[in-house]
Structure 1
Amino acid sequence: MQSSMGSDAPSSVQLPVMLVADVQDSLLVVVHDLSRLDGLLAHTMENLMERFTSASASLADPALQASPELDLVRSTLRAAVTELQFQDMASQLITHTSKILQGCAYRLASESMGMEDGEAVPFVEEVPDRPNPVTQDEMDAGSIELF
């Protein structure tokens, strides 16, 4: 008969402190890079929206006569604006991934190195339970499902 003593204890792996510190630093660098990527996407989307709005306003000029070609261009612009919703979904994914990576970095540090007396505990939101906050996988007018 086997003894169950010690079977309830979580298993652990000893890692060198420098390795843990390097992994934590790398995770936090990735979080920073994801934040920069989110900002770049937001800036690009703002610029695209301005350009699409300007183009659409130019095409709405009454001086232009209605033609099938112009109607096709207008329709294409409307579809392109709808597709810009991907920035919102990308931003949600970046935020979600950043929270997970940041949570992993701080958990790794606290579990492997422990906290010293008087050391401030870094504020980290809880790691999200859902594996993916965005379930949309295609863009059609009126068919977005974000949550």
Structure 2
Amino acid sequence: MQAPKSLPAEKPTVQLPVMLIAEVQDSLLVVTHDLARLDGLLAHTMENLMERFTRALDSLDAHKLPTAEAAALKEVRDALGSAVTELQFQDMASQLITHTSKVLQGCAYRLASEAMGQEDGEAVPFVEDVPERPNPVTQDEMDAGSIELF
């Protein structure tokens, strides 16, 4: 009995028009830019909110109230303190935005490289490898005093 002949192992390929690939690459890079802008907006907003909450807490501390009102004031302070803790979601959002941007940028450059090849002497844009982890942020809730190190 004769052993079956093995076929050469080839990766399946799909031919796409260069213009389509260029449009997809441009779209990926536009989305990457938009994510960077979103990250900046989030950071700016969080800085402003933190400043305002801190100012509100400082203002509450400046008032000396009778004992009956002190309990209500403590509730307000606690609520503001919890709000400040919850504002820390910006750090997690920023990590997700950075991760997503790297994935999109890596896809865009890989798509172009695979589709158009590389000419001698042509510089390849530096892009880190696409992250292997699907999600860099694993925390899905925050409690005061809890911390998760990456």
Instruction: Give the TM-score band, short-chain normalised.
Output: over 0.9
1:53 counterpart residue number: 54
Distance 1:113 1:21, change over 3 A: same
Cα separation, 2, equivalents of 1:65 and 1:113: 75
2:12 counterpart residue number: 11
What secondary structure is seen at the aligned counterpart in 1 of 2:62?
coil
Cα separation, 2, equivalents of 1:107 and 1:130: 18
What secondary structure is seen at the aligned counterpart in 2 of 1:127?
coil
1:42 counterpart residue number: 43
The residue type equivalent to 1:122 in the other structure is P
Q: How does 1:48-127 map to 2 (within 5 A)?
A: 48-66=49-67, 67-127=70-130
Distance 1:4 1:140, change over 3 A: same
The residue type equivalent to 2:7 in the other structure is M
Shift in Å at residue 117 of structure 1?
2.1
The residue type equivalent to 2:32 in the other structure is V
Q: Residue deviations 1:82-131, cap 9 Å, x none?
A: 11110000000000000000000000000011112221100101111111
The residue type equivalent to 1:143 in the other structure is S
Distance 1:116 1:65, change over 3 A: farther
1:23 counterpart residue number: 24
Contact kept in structure 2, 1:24 and 1:105, CA below 8 Å: yes
Q: Indicate yes or no: 2:137 matched with 1:138.
A: no
What residue ranges of structure 1 are gaps of 5+ in the alignment? none
Cα separation, 1, equivalents of 2:113 and 2:17: 14
Contact kept in structure 2, 1:89 and 1:146, CA below 8 Å: no
What residue ranges of structure 2 are gaps of 5+ in the alignment? none
- Give the percent of matched residue pairs that are identical in Structure 1 and Structure 2: 75
- Paired residue total: 146
Larger of the two Rg values belongs to structure:
2
Runs of 4+ in 1 over 6 A off after TM superposition: none
What secondary structure is seen at the aligned counterpart in 2 of 1:95?
helix
Shift in Å at residue 146 of structure 1?
4.8
